[in-house]
Amino acid sequence: MRISLIFLLIFLFSSQSHSEVDDWSSYGKDSGGGHYSKATQITPENVKNLKKVWTHRSGDYHQGTNWTEDVTPNSSQQTSFQATPLLVNETLYYCTPYNRVFALDSETGEEKWIFDPEVEIEQKALLHCRGVGSWIDDNKSEEDECYHRIITGTIDAELFSIDGKTGQLCKDFGNKGRIDLRTGLGNHNPAYYYSVSPPAIIGDLIIIGGGIADNVSTSVPGGVVRAYDIRSGELVWYWDPIPPGQEPILDDTGRQLYQRGTTNVWSIISTDPELNLIYLPTGNTASDNYGGHRNGSDYYSSSVVALNASNGEVVWHFQTVYHDIWDYDVPSQPTFYDIEKDGKIIKALAQTTKMGFVFLLNRETGEPIFPIEEREVPQGAVEGDYVTKTQPYPTKPAPLTPTYLDPEDVFGFTPWDRGYCKKAAEDLRNEGLYTPPSLQGSVHYPSAIGGANWGGPAIDASRNILIANTMNLSSTIVMIPRSDCDKALKDLAKDSVQSRFSALQQNEGTPYCTIRAFGFMSPLGVPCTKPPWGNLTAIDLNTGEHLWQIPLGTSKDLAPFPFHWIKGAPNIGGPTVTKSGVTFIAATSDYYLRAFNTETGEELVKLRLPTGGHATPMTYKNKNGRQFVVIAAGGHWAVGSPASDHLIAYALPE
């Protein structure tokens, strides 16, 4: 009897520990994001014991131009490895900057298969892929072809359906396994339209938007969002983001054409099968920094838009920026959580923004969880354009980043470069958030790369804590009359510093081109904003209050010795959280994967990477109960970390 009892206890313990593999079946872990894993083997106490257990390298990377150089749509830009792998049925799936898809054994990192879409990588301004989609056909058995499908888009704007078991195309989908996403978009430069974010899936539909090149023309392809049947590839419906009541453009046969230059959806889409809703984070209408020609076509710009999944009709939308002329796209996945209010459970979502604001909304209705105020903003746009009198400000949570660059509080390594920043901040239009672009030049703070960006927040569902990484950087915009736009940048720039760190963008179809710097820099190449240049913040979603905020990363690998001491680094990527209370994030310009205590913000460990890990890590528990943490380390041109192709897995010693 005693032996039987012991075996029973062993069986129960084993079943509880290993009964369920913790799959990561969508980019954000779940279809509503959150990057939240229930795996608990790795804890705040033992995370310091993590060891590298395998590395996979695809070979798909190259060096190229960086953020201080030309990054036009036809330039040869450095690759950036931004993928978050999926885990489905013990197999990891990820895409490379060349859009090849790899299937790996999740225990060893060994290759199972490779799919190569053979994209043309020359003269592409964007060479990255953030992830793939996954779908299992309940009408088939595991032995059937395409029982499990991997869905992926490419920088060449094609959509592929791949057999998850073999890596072969599903021939019943589209044209022998592929769909041309350029259909209906009209003639355009191939570099102007691409698909780099993972397709969303709801029911038996694939939902996909597209990325559009910024500041090149008002006639770039439109931002249509399309729904395809996941088995056949047939187009089921589309949403063309034109304002209500505006007449669509028709071709000679009476079919609607996708309108050019409209709001696009380049970031990660969320879906809620229970509510039958799709949530779109929209960009802004072309061109980014001038909107005098839009005539209301930016009605859905810089918004969260909820669509009915059955027919693509708008259920509600919430606009985070009115008449956006600052390139303040909604950059990240609308992220789901639940909150109790007045005795009722509200299905909610959190939306991080480039302004450093977090909007908390009821995801059934779009109504705010906490009040949102209309506040007056700086006035006086360039001739032909306008700015609205007010913009929406959430009362909770408080902003994640500063919104005004005080000339008396600028930064520099020396009095000389600090003096340059002070004078420039005084000479430019500098009235805080939403200072309009101007002929004299305007400070843009936070910059168009954040605040927050596409990495999005993580939400610990067991604690209702949101974790978000942000940047504390400013940029500059100078509007140039069209008559001068054929001049060289060096002749138009106010000084050699502006010329070094800026790009001339043509904005064809508008009265202005722009000189745009993604970083407001000193002559020594140092941000004029005061450190920290990057933070990690925790928010209590029940109260809307900040729990803690800490500098994220250091200036190691960014600044020369002895300036490694600066805390808070530029960062691109996102966090992941676990039920055990650990937050994992790389993202920084220094080459580390870090782990933090979710409740306190205490840094628990940092693991050295071969280059910057500018992706969102993922974690999973395999069939034996062992928990892995996986991060892509491939660098990013915007923060100066060199390109590479390392996919690295960590685990506790067995």
**CA 211 to chain centroid:** 12
Preceding amide of 532 cis, omega within 30: yes
Write the single-letter amino acid at 306.
A
Rounded CA-CA distance 415/293 in Å is: 44
DSSP-assigned letter for residue 258: P
Q: Report how far apart, in Å, the C-alpha atoms of 134 and of each of 151, 194, 203, 482 are.
A: 6, 20, 12, 47
**Catalytically active residues, by annotation:** 327
Adjacency order of strands within the sheet including 36-37: 36-37, 576-578, 582-585, 592-597, 603-608
- φ/ψ bin of 45: left (φ > 0), alpha (ψ from -120 to 50), beta (otherwise): alpha
CB 617 within 8 A of CB 626: no
Gap between the Cα atoms of 141 and 27, Å rounded: 25
Hey, what are 91's tokens? Answer: 């197999």
- Bridge-based pairing state of the strands 475-481 and 503-505: unpaired
Between vectors from CA 536 to CA 468 and to CA 362, what angle results, nearest 5°? 25
Amino acid at 407: P
- Measure Cα distances from 468 to 44, 339, 465, 536 in Å: 19, 18, 10, 6
In this structure, the chain runs to a length of 654
d(CA 397, CA 513): 36
Name beta bridge partners: 277.
Answer: 272, 308
Tokens in use for 606?
A: 């940092």
CA gap 561, 578 in Å, rounded: 35
Compute the distance between CA of residue 309 and CA of residue 294 in angstroms, rounded to an integer. 28
Identify which of 636, 634, 641, 651 has the alpha carbon closest to the alpha carbon of residue 56.
634
Which of 336, 369, 318, 255 has the alpha carbon at shortest distance from 29?
A: 336
The rounded distance, in Å, linking the Cα atoms of 590 and 261 is 37
Whether residue 613 contacts residue 55, with contact meaning beta carbons closer than 8 Å, is answered with no
Cα separation, 426 vs 418, in Å, equals: 12
The helix/strand/coil state of 505 is strand
CA distance 647 to 97: 13
DSSP β-ladder status, 158-163 and 512-517: unpaired
Token pair of 578 as six digits:
């676990």
Identity of residue 149? R
Q: How far apart are CA 376 and CA 397, in angstroms?
A: 19
**Gap between the Cα atoms of 477 and 441, Å rounded:** 5
User: Helix, strand, coil % (nearest 5) of the chain?
Assistant: 10, 35, 60
CA distances from 581 to 290, 397, 650 (A): 45, 22, 17
The pair of structure tokens assigned to 542 is 């029940």
Token pair for 435: 């200072």
Q: Are 116 and 155 in contact (CB under 8 A)?
A: no
393 phi/psi in degrees, rounded to 5: -125, 125
